[in-house]
Structure 1
């Protein structure tokens, strides 16, 4: 076996074991302990996260953040991965700390010169744009960790009525228009709420707080659907859209699943909503301006007429 192949296989074995001794690896690979020790030293020098454990029962352990073995990419795949990671730089904050920037740096550094040249020619010509918003990267990281572990988070949340402390259990995270949103079960309100990450002043994992076991079946695509149905009375929200309005709502987490596109490119949104939430949904449609018109319910239409009148008065 070539040395490069042996090192790759060694990385894969270590990832699976997490804790091991030189003798165990030497027996498994049929090599001397001295050769294995030298290989481990080389892996450590290139950043593979292993450390020695002293004393009886010692050996080596793998740090919590494990290293993945090399993956072969085609040139087009390499370009796609590079620009996908680069797109994150246009967010004010991301829940991945500096990992994305580090990954892009490593990825680009080890590409062959012709692939680097192709990427260099596309810099500043291919951009996945997002409005840059300012928010706490530390809070985003805490929320992401809670999503991965189904944990409860204690947050201080700033809203129009002031700042409140709440225990929430996040369903997930998603980004829209540069903002990060966290749908979560709020133990204070005893229902599901949507939290905007830039309004979270502080966040910490609260492992002492009992979590809910029924969140695993929910995702960011339908997190609120079961709860909207419990509000009475209900009504139909019907929105007529231009072609541009359709493009704006195609990927919208609220309206996308209820969008029906016509042959002329325009479309219609039809969905059931609680009457008491009419103003909330009307505000979301308001952002589309002339590209959308609410047909029903009357409560939403009247609400938008009032907003239009208030705006008109500002320009008198």
Structure 2
């Protein structure tokens, strides 16, 4: 496929309406040459259709069948590996077609590439932390975020089930869980998707919502306190997989944390035990000590706990 046809496919993928004459002027070729290009694209599976009349032109079906990929042997094996990884991500959007895609793609590969994939699968495994509860609403949440629609949902929090409405910004996957940042009453709150028990997409929409990537990149404007953590070598290794501590340097982590998040952080630090020490602030030190004392209390003799 030549560069011009690849560029035409870029225009098609943008779902823009176009005429053969516009393309001919853009690429400085004849209309007949463009028509041959369009005939070629139709031949490889791009479903073009023509609109007649003074404002007519070419369009493509929104849910069109895309042309096949032209991959090298290594690229084909790499793509199959990526499909295998996605299989391990529970409740991945569009998950229903992943197995079908892998099977269909594998079936169309040459025998030598199939043999290479079969051999590779014996030497590589992918593990993901799987949440105890499923997250069945990832697809609906993603669609609601893309359409900037409001949702009504029943959320299972530590205080019990509560119904809320919010505007989801998107979803992201981290350490085995799906998360949904959503704007509610001019604040963006973070929800665990597996804790959403019921979901309804409403008709209300808000065009002023930021995208998920914009929200992630924006600085946190809440009041915060400086937190300094000292990790041991073992603690640094354990915390290295935690997204929160990726900025750790020389076994030390510095960050700004809103006071209302300190309780959550103290529970997270408890899993590292003696492998981390809170340098500052004092309120976080006290929160960790309180949790440790409550944990130890479970193992003390009852007479000692009662003070008798």
CA 1:122/1:250 → structure 2, altered by over 3 Å: closer, same or farther? same
Alpha carbons 1:168, 1:185 under 8 Å: kept: yes
Alpha carbons 1:169, 1:211 under 8 Å: kept: no
CA 1:244/1:100 → structure 2, altered by over 3 Å: closer, same or farther? farther
1:33-86 CA-partner distances (Å, limit 9, x unpaired):
xxx7xx96x877xxx778999xxx999975433333232223332222222221
Please name the residue that 2:191 is paired with. Answer: 195
Report SS of the residue matched to 1:156.
Answer: strand
Equivalent residue runs for 1:298-309 within 5 Å: 298-309=282-293
Q: Alignment RMSD, CA only? A: 4.0
Q: Does 1:243 align with 2:227?
A: no
Quick one: which of 276, 283, 293 aligns to 2:267? Answer: 283
Unaligned stretches of 5+ residues in structure 2: 20-30, 301-308
Report SS of the residue matched to 1:157.
Answer: strand
1:208-258 CA-partner distances (Å, limit 9, x unpaired):
2435344576244x46x423xx33xx432111123343344445343324x
How far the C-alpha of 1:180 sits from its partner, in A, is: 0.7
How far the C-alpha of 1:162 sits from its partner, in A, is: 2.6
Quick one: which of 254, 269, 279 aligns to 1:270? Answer: 254
Please name the residue that 1:175 is paired with. Answer: 173
How far the C-alpha of 1:166 sits from its partner, in A, is: 2.4
How far the C-alpha of 1:177 sits from its partner, in A, is: 2.5
Question: Once structures 1 and 2 are overlaid, which stretch shifts more, 116-125 or 201-210?
Answer: 201-210
CA 1:244/1:128 → structure 2, altered by over 3 Å: closer, same or farther? farther
How far the C-alpha of 1:281 sits from its partner, in A, is: 1.2
- 1:15, 1:210 → 2: CA distance? 26
How far the C-alpha of 1:107 sits from its partner, in A, is: 2.6
How far the C-alpha of 1:11 sits from its partner, in A, is: 7.6
- 1:247, 1:72 → 2: CA distance? 41
How far the C-alpha of 1:277 sits from its partner, in A, is: 2.5
Alpha carbons 2:270, 2:292 under 8 Å: kept: no
Alpha carbons 2:175, 2:242 under 8 Å: kept: no
Provide TM-score, normalisation by structure 1. 0.72
Report SS of the residue matched to 1:71.
Answer: coil
Please name the residue that 1:4 is paired with. Answer: none
Provide TM-score, normalisation by structure 2. 0.74
Quick one: which of 193, 202, 218 aligns to 2:214? Answer: 218
Unaligned stretches of 5+ residues in structure 1: 2-6
Please name the residue that 1:71 is paired with. Answer: 69
1:191-214 CA-partner distances (Å, limit 9, x unpaired):
111110101123333342435344
Q: Does 1:252 align with 2:242?
A: yes
